[in-house]
Each structure stands twice: as structure tokens, then as C-alpha cells.
Amino acid sequence: MSSNLVIDIGNHSTKLYVFTDKKILRSTNIPGQDWSKIIAATEAETFSGSIISSVVEIDSELTAVLRRRALCVVFDGNTPTPLKIEYITAETLGPDRIAASLAGWQLSEGGNVLVIVAGTCITYNFIDKSGAFRGGAISPGIHMRLQSMHEFTGKLPLVKMEGHQPLIGNSTETSIRSGALHGAILEVKGMIAEYSTIYTDLKIVVSGGDGSFLAEALKNGIFARPELVAEGLNTILNYNVANRLIR
């Protein structure tokens, strides 16, 4: 049975996934962008095609290694996908947003969907029922909020996300955590409410490193898909192979 290798290179880690059809067989997480470790991890896998999505410039040796093994898609704003991109600055649209949006739209079974990816930033991505990516919003992620309060003030400490998080903070630490965490939750709830007033049939999909935390806080009616970006990348690879679009 053929398999796909999906490589998602983010700001803080690199994730490798092996897919058979639409199922993840296994995954590997490598801190940062250690190219020698990434290349070694790919050499340990067997695959019939691969796709790379990256927020940084990709090491040329990695793509060379992959292309010697099998066909390879380096995903960028010019890569064909099943989505219609209606975004004025499409060249600046992050590949992770496109991949997550595609997978979320497929989960909605062709309806209007708001895909929320909570990572370094929280991105809101609206895809209408015709499969058009219309745009959305970008705001600071939870860890960025905590980090920025420490870096841009003289005395506020760096507080971790984990720990007591009361609504009413009774110390500087719990006040910072309350502001960052409850602030993010209320922001997301507010965004969902605003979109839902316009699109009454709206479905919500949440993903990203902090997606599970947000999904738990939001409760009912939420699809939580931790590996949404990888699922979207796998679909894009299959789409390009099936339609003979590999350059």
C-alpha cells in the first residue's frame, strides 16, 4: 500500500507524518528546524510521495533528498488546491492556514466553516460553502500574550500557561494567566458569535497546539482536530498527484 510523507515545519518544531490514504500511521516531532535530524528521519521512512510546508526557508538538501526518493511538492501560495483563494494578498497567506482551511472545509462536508488554529498566533479562517477561502483574522496566541507581557514591561514576570487560572486573579501570576487565557477564550467566543450572526449554519473546527485547550473551554458544537494542518497537506499532495499537477 502506498504512503505519503507530510512534513510540517513550524516556528518551534518540525513534524513528520506518514499517511496511508487519510490515516496517520505514525508521526515524529523534532524540536526547531534541525535539518540533519529532519533528513535522517525522512531516510528512515518509505513513501511514494511527499509534501513540505514551512514557515522558514527550506534547506535545499532536504528537498534534494526527497526528490531522489519520490515525487515531492514544496507547498506555497502557487500550489494548486481544491480551495478557491479569495484573499487580496494571496502571496502572503501562510501555507498552514491554507492546509488547515482545506481540511476543516472537508470536515464541514461542504458547508460554511470557521477554522480556528491556535498556535504561535490564533488564526481565524473562513471558508464558505462554495469552497472559497474568504479570509479571517490573526491575533496573538496564548504563549505570545504571556511572553509579550513579560518582554514589554519592566516588572511583570514570565508566567507559564500551566497552573491555577481563576477568573479573578489573586496574585500577579494568576492575574497574568487569567488575562492571557480567559482573554483568549472570550476573544474566540466573541469571534464565533459574530460570524454566527452572519452565517447561521456555521460549523467550527479548532486545531493547533493550544486547540485542545480552547475546544475544551468552548464545549459543544466544536470539532477538535489536533492534526488538521497535516490532514490538509496530505489532501493537497493527493490532489496534485491525482490531477498530474506536480511541477
Residues assigned a catalytic role: 96
Collapsed DSSP state (helix, strand, coil) of residue 51: strand
How far apart, in Å, are the Cα atoms of 244 and each of 99, 187, 232? 19, 42, 18
DSSP 140: E
- Of 92, 180, 72, 178, whose CA–CA distance to 135 is shortest? 92
| Alpha-carbon torsion angle 146, 149, 150, 155, nearest 10 | -140
* Cα-Cα-Cα-Cα dihedral sign, residues 84, 86, 87, 88: positive
| Tally of CB atoms within 10 A around 151 | 9
